[in-house]
């Protein structure tokens, strides 16, 4: 279990998200940090640090609604 108060490095954040079933690379997180659309992060010197609760919130916001069929209109 991850301590939600602990800061995670970008690589650890990618592993954390993947452990939730949504594979993502640290390079994709870097891209999101550059162009926007990614989870909240904080800077500490030259490091980007993430909190588990921010990653969970971002993942939940990105998740689509439950569906039973691809033919159901959104």
Q: What is the pLDDT of residues 9-66, one digit of tens each?
A: 999 999 999 999 999 999 999 999 999 999 999 999 999 999 999 999 999 999 988 8
Residue 67 lies inside a defined structural domain of this protein: no
Query: Is 51 in contact with 66 (CB distance < 8 Å)?
Result: no
Residue 57 lies inside a defined structural domain of this protein: yes
Residue 71 lies inside a defined structural domain of this protein: no
Residue 50 lies inside a defined structural domain of this protein: yes
Domain limits at 29? 7-62
Number of domains within the chain:
1
Q: Write down the pTM of the prediction.
A: 0.83
Residue 27 lies inside a defined structural domain of this protein: yes
Contacts (Cβ under 8 Å, ≥6 apart) of 65: 74
Residue 39 lies inside a defined structural domain of this protein: yes
Residue 29 lies inside a defined structural domain of this protein: yes
pLDDT given for residue 2 in this prediction: 56
How far is CA 68 from each of CA 24, 60, 62, 65, 73, rounded to the nearest angstrom?
25, 19, 18, 10, 11
């Amino acid at each position: 279990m991850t301590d939600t108060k602990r800061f995670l490095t970008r690589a650890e954040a990618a592993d954390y998200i993947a452990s939730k079933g949504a594979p993502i690379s640290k390079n994709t997180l870097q891209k999101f940090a550059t162009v926007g659309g990614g989870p909240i992060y904080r800077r500490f010197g030259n490091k980007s640090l993430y909190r588990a609760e921010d990653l969970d919130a971002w993942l939940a916001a990105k998740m689509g609604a439950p569906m039973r069929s691809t033919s159901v209109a959104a």
